[in-house]
Structure 1
Amino acid sequence: MKDKIAYCGLNCEKCDAYIATINDDQELREKTAKLWAELNNAPILPEHINCEGCRTDGAKTVYCDSFCDIRQCALKKGVATCGDCPNMEKCETLGMIISNNPDALQNLKG
């Protein structure tokens, strides 16, 4: 499995924070920060938009690094992704991701 597939199955390479980071795109950082601040009703600033993928060493957004329940669970269980977890099919937290992004499930199974 590619290392840019997140623990939850989302493709980090399609995330605006990842794209802004690898391309050092300040305009995309600003646009993403504004959108995410509105969507999450949280003070997200352009300098918070730096991420190299949740399963690789390097920069991560504050959410992905510290607040993502799925990432914390996978790290605790020592699995590469949720696809390696025997409870994947029953996981309500992962279910929320998959219901909004069916490609995530395919990434975990593939």
Structure 2
Amino acid sequence: MIAICGLNCETCDAYIATKNNDDELRAQTAKKWAEMNNAPEITPETINCAGCRGNGVKFYFCSHLCPIRKCCTEKGLEHCGQCAEMDRCETVQMIHGNNADAKSNLCGLKKNLK
């Protein structure tokens, strides 16, 4: 359940709310993320996700707007850990700078592919 950028989907509030069909968590998450991102289009109805790399519904930002997903898709990669430019990529560094586990998660995926 590791996302393209290395975040752990199992700890994401959108994933948890979807898995548990938790409308209260959806509302709390939407409010928090809308304020944090100055994005009023994030509503409880948009808080549904089965995981970044999994099958099923994705959170709208992740499926349609995420520059990291777009980059990997264009390069034909499953995740950033497969990219030779990951360590100097400013886009993914935004995630890794805020979540130390994300980069190590990708390193773990990379090792599992060998």
Q: How far apart are 1:63 and its partner, in Å?
A: 0.2
Q: Which amino acid aligns with 1:30?
A: A
> How far apart, in 1, do the equivalents of 2:79 and 2:38 lie?
29
Which of these residues, 102, 105, 110, is aligned with residue 103 of structure 2? 105
Per the alignment, residue 28 of structure 2 pairs with 31
Percent identity between matched residues is 60
Which of these residues, 54, 63, 74, is aligned with residue 61 of structure 2? 63
Aligned length: 107
> How far apart, in 1, do the equivalents of 2:19 and 2:38 lie?
26
> How far apart, in 1, do the equivalents of 2:81 and 2:59 lie?
23
> How far apart, in 2, do the equivalents of 1:82 and 1:18 lie?
20
> How far apart, in 2, do the equivalents of 1:85 and 1:9 lie?
12
Gaps of 5+ in 1: none
Which of these residues, 63, 74, 77, is aligned with residue 76 of structure 1? 74
Gaps of 5+ in 2: 109-114
Q: How far apart are 1:84 and its partner, in Å?
A: 0.5
> How far apart, in 1, do the equivalents of 2:103 and 2:38 lie?
28
Which of these residues, 90, 93, 101, is aligned with residue 92 of structure 1? 90
> How far apart, in 1, do the equivalents of 2:39 and 2:107 lie?
33
Deviating beyond 6 angstroms after TM superposition, the runs of 4 or more aligned structure 1 residues are: none
Q: Which amino acid aligns with 2:22?
A: D
> How far apart, in 1, do the equivalents of 2:34 and 2:83 lie?
32
